[in-house]
């Protein structure tokens, strides 16, 4: 039995340290915000290379607050990806904004810069662009920032899946979330830096936005019982901050290991003669893809997933129904067929087990299971519209 994500090994190693830090929180009885949270913010800002880090209650809130800080109002358009988690777009609509979904690049699964340019040319009243660094790979920030400056729009990065990912930007390497106006992170337990509950963070180099975000997260209150803005309640717990502080010390190593595991999967699939049947993800040389998800493409995804499940191997589909086709967003009028690559990816993607503690043996078992599905002639094993035939 190999789970898609298994954190038990990680926690059994870290538990003594984490439990000790949790005991300290109980001793101080400072449960919400406070010193532990401030320390974690400073450590995040330092690690990511941003001037300011503002901790909030969830990744969803980080997106909402970032758009609130930009002053997104009813009728404002925000260009984003449809191939992402729901929270990316609901942050826009909760403020009355209108998401404009653009198609993805099929190799990276991230917003296509060409599609972004078309949308910027076509739409009036675009206020911001919200790229997503899906599966741990940075979107093309160089291309996106160039267009954003040209058209005078702001950029909020959804880096919920890419804590610590690196990308080339204007001749240097920068971490995901630090090249736009603001970068948003989630510490949901399954993320590559995950807490023991909900949590999120916004980073920015802009002092004015940072101060505004610090006010907005506490009911728009810059000081006690004075309210200058209509904010929300979105604070990080000290318990989450200490768990995350302990884990932050390991993130660089974990991210490195994730990339090594992804490379090894690719080699194992190639070695097993499965490269034509299973389209493995691109492992880029000029950036650090942290493989929050290791996602392959399969023509007959659903039956392969079923067979894997029967073989005791977990997998997940991120995401089976793109946002432009969700019932709640039907009113936006971007119907089926409007985003070709997004709709195709939603039918073909499958994320396989990957976590830093995974062993070579486990990876071999996953790949062998694919080999068995194929040779057994099970549905999806090269049949019909399923996996591609090898000649
Ligand atoms: C997880 C996630 C979010 C939301 O984060 P929460 O902490 O669960 O609220 C937003 N966007 C993307 C791309 C995510 O993966």
User: Hey, what domains does the chain have and what are their CATH numbers?
Assistant: 8-248 (3.40.640.10), 251-315+353-376 (3.90.1150.10)
Residues 313, 323: contact at Cβ < 8 Å? Answer: no
| CA 63/CA 136 separation, integer angstroms | 17
Q: What order do you get walking across the sheet with 154-158 strand by strand?
A: 52-56, 200-204, 182-186, 154-158, 126-130, 77-81, 98-102
In the predicted model, is pLDDT for residue 388 greater than 70?
A: no
Give the nearest ligand 1 atom to 199 CA. Answer: 7
Mean pLDDT, all residues of the chain: 94
Mean pLDDT value across residues 221-235: 95
Phi-psi region of 313 (alpha: psi -120 to 50; beta: other; left: phi over 0): beta
Query: pLDDT > 70: what percent of the chain?
Result: 96
* Distance from residue 229's CA to the centre of ligand 1 (Å): 25
Nearest CA to ligand 1 atom 14: 160
Nearest CA to ligand 1 atom 7: 59
Whether the model pTM is above 0.85: yes
CA 65 vs CA 182, 279, 293, 354: distances in Å: 10, 37, 26, 31
* Of the candidates 372, 366, 374, the residue with the CA atom closest to the CA atom of residue 6: 366
pLDDT for res 375: 73
* Distance from residue 90's CA to the centre of ligand 1 (Å): 11
pLDDT for res 331: 96
In the predicted model, is pLDDT for residue 127 greater than 70?
A: yes
Q: Tell me the pLDDT tens digit for each residue of 134-183.
A: 999 999 999 999 999 999 999 999 999 999 999 999 999 999 999 999 99
Q: Tell me the pLDDT tens digit for each residue of 170-202.
A: 999 999 999 999 999 999 999 999 999 999 999
* Distance from residue 382's CA to the centre of ligand 1 (Å): 34
Please list every protein residue whose CB sits less than 6 Å from any atom of ligand 1: 58-60, 84-85, 87-88, 132, 158, 160-161, 186, 188, 198, 200
Task: For ligand 1, pick from 81, 160, 198, 200 the residue to mutate: most ligand atoms within 8 Å of CB.
Answer: 160
pLDDT for res 148: 98
* Of the candidates 282, 274, 276, the residue with the CA atom closest to the CA atom of residue 388: 276
| CA 232/CA 229 separation, integer angstroms | 9
* Of the candidates 388, 131, 165, the residue with the CA atom closest to the CA atom of residue 280: 388
Q: How many Cα atoms are found within 13 Å in the side-chain-facing hemisphere of 345?
A: 25
| CA 294/CA 134 separation, integer angstroms | 11
In the predicted model, is pLDDT for residue 260 greater than 70?
A: yes
In the predicted model, is pLDDT for residue 7 greater than 70?
A: yes
Phi-psi region of 272 (alpha: psi -120 to 50; beta: other; left: phi over 0): alpha
Q: Tell me the pLDDT tens digit for each residue of 208-222.
A: 999 999 999 999 999
pLDDT for res 376: 66
């Amino acid at each position: 039995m190999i789970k898609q994500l298994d954190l038990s090994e990680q926690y059994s190693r870290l538990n003594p340290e984490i439990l000790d830090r949790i005991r300290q929180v109980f001793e101080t009885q400072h449960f919400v915000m406070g010193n532990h949270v401030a320390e974690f913010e400073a450590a995040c800002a330092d690690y990511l290379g941003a001037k300011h880090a503002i901790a909030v209650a969830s990744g969803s809130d980080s997106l909402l607050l970032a758009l609130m800080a930009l002053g997104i109002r009813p009728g404002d358009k925000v260009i984003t990806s449809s191939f992402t988690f729901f929270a990316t777009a609901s942050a826009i609509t909760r403020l009355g904004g209108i998401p404009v979904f653009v198609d993805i690049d099929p190799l990276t699964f991230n917003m296509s810069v060409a599609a972004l340019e078309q949308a910027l040319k076509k739409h009036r009243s675009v206020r911001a662009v919200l790229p997503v660094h899906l599966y741990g790979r940075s979107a093309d920030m160089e291309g996106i920032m160039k267009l954003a400056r040209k058209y005078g729009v702001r950029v909020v990065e959804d880096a919920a899946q890419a804590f610590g990912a690196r990308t080339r930007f204007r001749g240097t390497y920068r971490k995901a979330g630090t090249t736009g106006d603001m970068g948003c992170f989630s510490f949901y337990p399954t993320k590559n830096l995950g807490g023991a509950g909900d949590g999120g963070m916004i980073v920015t180099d802009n002092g004015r936005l940072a101060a505004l975000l610090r006010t907005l997260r506490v009911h728009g209150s810059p000081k006690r019982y004075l309210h200058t803005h209509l904010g929300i309640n979105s604070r990080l717990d000290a318990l989450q901050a200490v768990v995350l502080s302990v884990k932050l010390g390991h993130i660089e190593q974990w991210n490195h290991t994730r990339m090594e595991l992804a490379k090894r999967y690719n080699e194992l699939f190639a070695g097993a003669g499965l490269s034509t049947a299973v389209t493995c993800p691109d492992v880029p040389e000029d950036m650090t893809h942290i493989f929050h998800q290791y996602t392959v493409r399969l023509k007959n995804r659903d039956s392969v997933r079923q067979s894997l499940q029967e073989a005791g191997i977990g997998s997940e589909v991120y995401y089976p129904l793109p946002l432009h086709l969700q019932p709640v967003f039907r009113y936006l009028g971007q119907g089926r067929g409007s985003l070709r690559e997004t709709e195709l990816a939603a039918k073909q993607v499958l994320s396989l087990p990957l976590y830093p503690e995974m062993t070579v043996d486990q990876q071999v078992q996953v790949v062998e299971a694919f080999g068995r599905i194929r040779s057994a002639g099970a549905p999806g094993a090269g049949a019909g519209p399923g996996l591609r035939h090898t000649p």
